[in-house]
Amino acid sequence: MREITYELLAIDDRDVVAVATGEEALIAFQKSPFDIVVTDISLPAMSGFDLVRHVKKLAPAVPIILASGYPLHLEEAQLASNIRAITKPFDSPQLEALIEDLFGSLAVSGASRPADHR
């Protein structure tokens, strides 16, 4: 899924960083924060939920998409409003719709929208 998601996001000339674990993602994020984080829930060692909690401590405004093989009920997880879920397998239009939804929500809330998210 990581490779497919990478390809879906890289099509529009985005700068995309793909890593295999939550720990690697957190290290990469600490070096250079991202405009958006897309992560699977099921990761080795650190779960996707744990990664979300770490990212939110570092940069609360960064939007996050959580991918899962089953539907997620994010309100039960008590996560921030700038987090969305997508069910695997997903396609490019579904992913793009979530990205647009997240950045549209940021614009409505008054948060700045990253210029290079596309």
pTM here? 0.82
Per-residue pLDDT reduced to its tens digit, 69-104: 988 876 655 567 788 989 999 999 999 999 999 988
| Predicted confidence (pLDDT) at residue 11 exceeds the cutoff of 80 | yes
CB 64 within 8 A of CB 55: yes
| Predicted confidence (pLDDT) at residue 116 exceeds the cutoff of 90 | no
How much is the mean pLDDT over the chain?
84
CB atoms within 10 A of CB 61: 13
CB atoms within 10 A of CB 11: 11
